[in-house]
């Protein structure tokens, strides 16, 4: 199955409000760093036993 976005991959990506940025731009790097940190936090929380950390749903 092929997916067509009609924008092609010219080394840019669309962020908030449709503004285009280079994939090497600091904005894109910041978004991806936050996304990776959020994933790691979620993974860590999923491995905690409830008796060790009962407040994890508040994080």
* pLDDT tens, N- to C-terminus, the chain (59 residues): 887 777 777 888 888 788 888 989 998 999 999 999 999 998 988 887 777 666 656 55
**Helix, strand or coil, per DSSP, at residue 20:** strand
**Helix, strand or coil, per DSSP, at residue 22:** strand
Indicate the pTM of the whole model: 0.61
In a domain, 18, yes or no: no
In a domain, 42, yes or no: yes
Burial class (CB in 10 A: 0-12, 13-18, 19+), 17: exposed
The C-alpha R_g of the chain, in whole angstroms, comes to 17
In a domain, 15, yes or no: no
| CA–CA gap between residue 32 and residue 29 (Å, rounded) | 5
Say how many C-beta atoms besides its own lie within 10 A of residue 21's C-beta. Answer: 17
Q: What is the count of structural domains for the chain?
A: 1
In a domain, 12, yes or no: no
In a domain, 29, yes or no: yes
Where in the sequence is the domain holding 40, given as residue range(s)?
23-58
């Amino acid at each position: 199955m092929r997916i067509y976005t009609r924008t092609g991959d010219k080394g840019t990506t669309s962020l908030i409000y449709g503004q285009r940025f280079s994939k090497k731009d600091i904005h894109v790097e910041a978004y991806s760093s936050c996304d990776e940190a959020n994933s790691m936090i979620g993974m860590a929380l999923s491995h905690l036993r409830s008796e060790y950390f009962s407040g994890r749903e508040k994080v």
